[in-house]
Amino acid sequence: MTIENNRRLKILMIALTGPSPERPHQAVFIRRWAEQLFEAGCDVRVFTRRHITLGTYLTSLSRIQEYYATPLHFHYDWNGITVDGIRLHLRFPLNYSKSAVDLTYSAIREPLRQLYREFAFDLMYMATWGDFSLAAARVAKALGVPYVATAIGGYENRYYNKPDSLPYRIQRELYLGSDLVQCVSKDLERKIRIMTDGRVPTWTWESGVDLEQFAPSVERRQRRRAELGIAEDQILVTFVGRLVKEKGIDELLNAFGALAKEEPRTKLALVGHAHKEGPIRRKLGAKGLEERVVMVGGVPAKEIPGYLNATDLFVFPSWNEGLPNAVKEASACALPIVATNVGGIPEIIEDGVTGLLVPPRNADALFEAMRRLVADVDLCSKLGTAAREAVSKGWDYHKNGPLLVEKIRGIIPHCS
């Protein structure tokens, strides 16, 4: 393979979830990475899957209907990103066995070979994990194409120290076969070195934040608060992310319940998709918080800056993380932040300087930090200003893209 250094590289991104018109709130980081690679001089396509399992039949009729309405091989363009994919039925219990990789490989081998004949990609970029990623890696090896593996967060955090588990073995094989493991935080890079015994190149790179899009804006603040029905003298606490237990939603509701009793001006906005809203709404009802909490739901990425600008205090109580976009984006909007001291979050938030850090799964500590900031406007302003400055120095979206392309060119033969 000979590649002229000034030619646009062709990158195939492998993703469990692709950006789509039906779910504009999902796969945001896939879209951002693809856009950055394109902006920095690459042609990019995404290969993804639509899947169901036995559990889907038991829990979601709508997902079953959507699955069978999807062609076996599908192709679409979404906001300039070409997405190809395959429909896969994961058969329990094989999807929890070592056979999962072999079954997935058999299903995606020919579609990826066909895509290679059409697109002739120079590199596979694994923006995902698990059997889908490893199966694609085996196809890359068969084609003689290098690949970059990525360490994003939750999956690696759960399994990096469990060498007897199947997910650990899958990820280790994926990493050991890669030409580079790109990690989104120093914390994850340390864990990947443990998993691989330091035998593969690792590199910490994070896409960063669009500092023009995510910036303080009085106009956005006023418009979004009016839409939410938040008066200017009220204090809006906001969480952005999936509404799942691992994101600390129970601790947040408990902490906010205590805060709401002390400070009647406070309201809470939950911005994110909830697979099941019922349990959350029942908890709000039991605590008498129905009128104090706004469940916004999942929203397109372009709407997030508006919700952040409407916010007075941003809270992110997750149990484990890579390097969460939500915290970087809240920092870029100069918000005071309370977040848990997990994963790569301390690489963004310096306790007492650019935000406040609390232990995970600790509603009391979360409440105390929230109460402290609600009572101290000057401290909020100081933390928010410092957070914006810190993000501007290290996580500029438009500067970070070319760094990734430069790194990629260095691992493609005859391209560096």
What pLDDT is attached to residue 154?
A: 79
Give pLDDT tens digits for 144-157: 999 999 998 878 88
CATH topology assigned to domain 9-208+397-409: Rossmann fold (3.40.50)
Residue with tokens 């709000």: 284
Q: Is the pLDDT of residue 5 over 60?
A: no
What pLDDT is attached to residue 95?
A: 56
What pLDDT is attached to residue 61?
A: 74
- The beta strands (E) that lie in 211-358 are given as 235-240, 266-271, 293-297, 313-316, 337-340, 356-358
Residue type, 15: A
What is the pLDDT averaged over residues 46-54?
81
- Tell me, yes or no, if the two domains 9-208+397-409 and 218-394 fold the same way: yes
The most confident of the ranges 26-40, 62-76, 90-104, 124-138 is: 124-138
What pLDDT is attached to residue 251?
A: 97
Per-residue tokens: 266: 């406070």
Give pLDDT tens digits for 373-416: 999 999 999 999 999 999 999 888 888 889 999 999 999 876 64
CATH class of 218-394: alpha beta
Give pLDDT tens digits for 198-245: 999 999 998 889 999 999 999 999 999 999 999 999 999 999 999 999
What pLDDT is attached to residue 57?
A: 64
What is the pLDDT averaged over residues 36-56?
84
Neighbours of 152 (CB within 10 A): 20
3-state secondary structure of 258: helix
Give pLDDT tens digits for 51-60: 776 666 667 7
φ/ψ of residue 152, rounded to 5: -100, -35
Q: Is the pLDDT of residue 335 over 90?
A: yes
Query: What are the residue boundaries of the structural domains of the chain, listed by start?
Result: 9-208+397-409, 218-394
Give pLDDT tens digits for 181-196: 999 999 999 999 999 9
Label residue 334 left, alpha or beta by phi (over 0 means left) and psi (-120 to 50 means alpha).
left
Lowest mean per-residue pLDDT among 18-32, 44-58, 323-337, 350-364: 18-32
Residues 107, 49 contacting (CB under 8 angstroms):
no
Give pLDDT tens digits for 78-106: 777 889 999 887 654 555 667 889 989 99
Considering the chain, what percentage of its residues have pLDDT values greater than 90?
Answer: 68
Closest CA to 155 of 124, 134, 179, 178: 134
What pLDDT is attached to residue 76?
A: 86
- The beta strands (E) that lie in 171-227 are given as 180-183, 202-204
What pLDDT is attached to residue 1?
A: 38
φ/ψ of residue 298, rounded to 5: -75, 135
Give pLDDT tens digits for 160-180: 889 999 999 999 999 999 999
Q: Is the pLDDT of residue 25 over 90?
A: no
What mean pLDDT value characterizes the chain? 90
